[in-house]
Amino acid sequence: MRRLLASTLFLARQPVFSTPLRQTAPPPSTTLSPQPTVQHASYTSSTGVRHSSMAAGEDKPKPFIVRFYGVEAAKDGEGRSLEDILRFEDNELEYHHDYIQVLFPLPEPSPINPDAPIIKKGTRTAFVENEELRKQLFRAFNHMANFYAFNVKGDAAAPVLEPKPDFRKLAQNTWLTRMDHNHLRITRIIRCLRVLGLEATAQAFHQALQDNAEGVSSRSLMYWERAATRSLHLPPSEDNENACGVAWLKPAED
């Protein structure tokens, strides 16, 4: 009985080959059915960000970050567009923790949220080459700068940040303290701005923080300094200056 069962299972696992049929040409009046159209396959990650796979020969889909900031107005895993997040009040900006990685993505995976969008080479290229994308990113920065008690004047190429009249009271509710989760956000914002082509905005923001950072820990100041001044291939969290970092962001050797 065991031998019979094993034989049956072996046969069941084998591929079934059918005898090829003799093919005949269709009569002249016969209309051949068109080939099926190959469609995009897609899946949704655990954060709800939709990803697409492609058939050979089709145009590569735009990265999510480009579609989020672009005319496509793509939505994040919570169903929010850029415009939705830019309508957040200060209390929403403070207590929601799942939007900052969408507004200001990084080239490094998040240890907290591995499904958060990541800046890749094509994303950086799109922002560097497209002024409208950079304008939208600057709008997102402006919204966060206001949250951190700065008024922003000018544009992304020459921004000016000025403390609000009630700056100290407002800033102490967000970042003007020794340690705060907003310090991590600020590091992220500075690095993201630089990677996506808003170097002048990143430097203006960093300078405004330095000028008004009384009471902030030296560790937080160190991370902001690294984010603002290091070669882009090295993340602020990397202590080894000789580390490989993000290879595609590494400057070309002379």
Residue 175's φ and ψ, nearest 5 degrees, are -120, -15
pLDDT of residue 53: 43
**pLDDT at residue number 77:** 92
Question: What mean pLDDT value characterizes the chain?
Answer: 84
With cut-offs at 50, 70 and 90, classify the pLDDT of residue 218: very high
Buried b (16+ CB within 10 A) or exposed e, 188-213: bbbbbbbbbbbebbbbbbbebbeebe
Tell me what pLDDT residue 13 has: 42
Amino acid 58: pLDDT: 60
Question: What is the rounded average pLDDT of the residues 60-69?
Answer: 95
Give CA 185 to chain center in angstroms: 14
> In the prediction, which pLDDT does 111 show?
81
Residue 112 tokens read as 């907290």
C-beta neighbour count of 54 within 10 angstroms: 13
Put simply, whether the predicted model's pTM sits higher than 0.85 gets the answer no
Q: Is 151 a residue whose pLDDT tops 80?
A: yes
Higher pLDDT, residue 3 or 211: 211
C-alpha span between 84 and 75 (Å, rounded): 9
Residue 210 pLDDT more than 70?
yes
Sign of the CA dihedral with 113 first, then 115, 117, and 121 last: positive
In angstroms, what is the C-alpha Rg of the chain?
Answer: 26
What is the percent of the chain where pLDDT is above 70? 76
